[in-house]
Structure 1
Amino acid sequence: MRYVYQTDKGKVRELNEDAVAVFPGDTGLLAVVADGMGGHKAGDVASNLTIEQFEKLWSNVDSPINEIDTQKWLTDSIKQVNNIVYEKAQAEDAYQGMGTTVVAAICTERELTVAHIGDSRAYLFNQTNWKQVTNDHSLVGELVRTGQLSEEDAQVHPKRNMILKALGTEFDLAPDIYRSDWNDFEQLLICSDGLTNKISDEELHELILTTPKEDISQTLIDIANERGGEDNITLTIISHQEKVGESSC
């Protein structure tokens, strides 16, 4: 496997409240994207605290990655990180109400497991198709799922940024889980909504297929910024069919 990751504060925000990291292991890797919220600097605290805690938990894994129960590990880890963020938000007035989205994926040569809370997304891509493997925990996401709103209308809905579920906003919050063999898919994209609000799924598929791998993260960020860049923009792409390589950030 090979991976790249990058984050950018965009053209409007003064602060980057997104955070991203990829942690390699002996037989796979862990990738995490978090999009913080909660007022001045609090979102930044929530997202970075999430990454820091995942790094600690990952460093304590003492079995080969392909031998652990990835679904249980991600569920337990997200609950633990959630409670740490929640307790910090409750303990300090400046951080009250803070939270963050999170998408965390464990990828091995054989399979991938994705856990998420919020409206940051994960997609699988191959040469001919793509699949979104997370469901947005947002107002418009729920309206789309229940047939009350089209995908097109969701893109311009005035409450499209209203999140219904976020890490750190209540105790013992559990993630949604997606688990699968790689099958025919070749690449996993995890990203914050600063990217998907500016680039359609069809465009993402085409760009990931046609852009040189060393340029893809900056290319996607540049396009999102050219189209307004009102939000922070963060992504990581894991390519399954290549050996693990150096990251970019």
Structure 2
Amino acid sequence: MKYAFNTSVGRVRPHNEDSGGIFLHPKGAVLAIVADGMGGHQAGDVASQMTSDILQQRWLATSELRKPTEIEQWIRESIEVVNETLFMHAKENRDCQGMGTTVVVAVCTNDFVSLGHVGDSRGYLLNRCGFQQKTSDHSLVNELVRTGQITVEQAEHHPRKNVLLRALGTEPTIKIDVETVDWEENDTIILCSDGLSNKVTDLEIEELLQTKGHSVNEKVDKLIKMANERGGEDNITVAIVHYTHDRQEQG
């Protein structure tokens, strides 16, 4: 597998409330994380960074996970631990009251990818069947689209587009969406915060991922550059994992 991660503060916001990374397990599987924090002061920074740190620590400390059911259970339990930790931290620290974060994670093995998410940070899969969003945004606007109250086109410019229906740290318990998909040689997983998906279309992401001659690092950086060139009003975070039988490496 080849993989790359990067994050940008964008062109408007004073600090970056996104966090995440890609972490190689000693037994070979890869964990990719994108978290988009929110909250007053710099509490969003705290929420997203705590999320990334806790998931990374649990990932590197766990024994080898072989079956999809085992990895899905690990994702659920780990995100539940994060949620409880954030909720208590906000309760005990006045500066962090109201903080929360989205999260999307992908555990990539040689046979399958297990995705888990809360919020509107997204996970996509590119394979021989095409390019597909594998996560469903936990947002007010997506719910309005799903129930037929507004169109996809209306959702693009809806005044309440940033309202989330689920986020980590805001309630003592959380519902987590988890799914496992098969993947094979040349398939690609991409995770991103809404700083990318609000500025770059799915078709544009797909076309860039299919561009020949660019490394995964270059593709990550090009996507972030596109979002910044279109205003960069939000923080932008992208993680790409490309399935190749070459040795595990960043790049």
**TM-score, normalised to structure 2's length?**
0.94
Q: Is the 8 A contact 1:89 1:95 kept in 2?
A: yes
Task: Please name the residue that 2:65 is paired with.
Answer: 65
Aligned to 1:188: 189
Aligned CA RMSD, in angstroms, stands at 1.6
**SS across alignment from 1:65:** coil
Amino acid at match of 2:53: E
Q: Does 1:126 align with 2:127?
A: yes
Q: Distance in 2 between matches of 1:117 and 1:27?
A: 26
Q: What percent of counterpart residues are identical?
A: 44
Deviations 1:177-232, CA, capped at 9 Å, x for gaps: 11121168700000000000000101110011116124111111111000000000
Cα deviation for residue 120 of structure 1 reads 0.2
**Cα offset, 1:242, TM superposition:** 4.0
3-state DSSP class of the match of 2:250? coil
Measure how far apart 1:241 and its partner are: 2.2
> Is the CA contact (8 Å cut-off) linking 1:127 and 1:209 kept in structure 2?
no
- Alignment of 1:94 onto 2:95: yes
Moved over 2 A (4+): 64-68, 241-248
Match in the other structure for 2:79: 78
Q: What is the identity, as a one-letter code, of the residue corresponding to 2:104?
A: V
Partner SS for 2:86: helix
How high is the TM-score relative to the length of structure 1? 0.95
Larger mean CA deviation between 221-230 and 169-178 belongs to: 169-178
Deviation track 1:80-108 (CA, whole Å, cap 9, x = no partner) reads: 11100110011111100100000011110
1:9 aligned onto 2:9 = yes
Q: How does 1:127-166 map to 2 (within 5 A)?
A: 129-166=130-167
2: distance between equivalents of 1:244 and 1:66? Answer: 19
Give the match's secondary structure for 1:144.
helix
What runs of 5+ residues in structure 2 fail to find an aligned partner? none
> Take 2:180 and 2:33, find their aligned partners in 1: how far apart are those partners?
16
Alpha-carbon distance in structure 2 between the residues aligned to 1:55 and 1:215: 24
Letter in 1 for 2:112: E
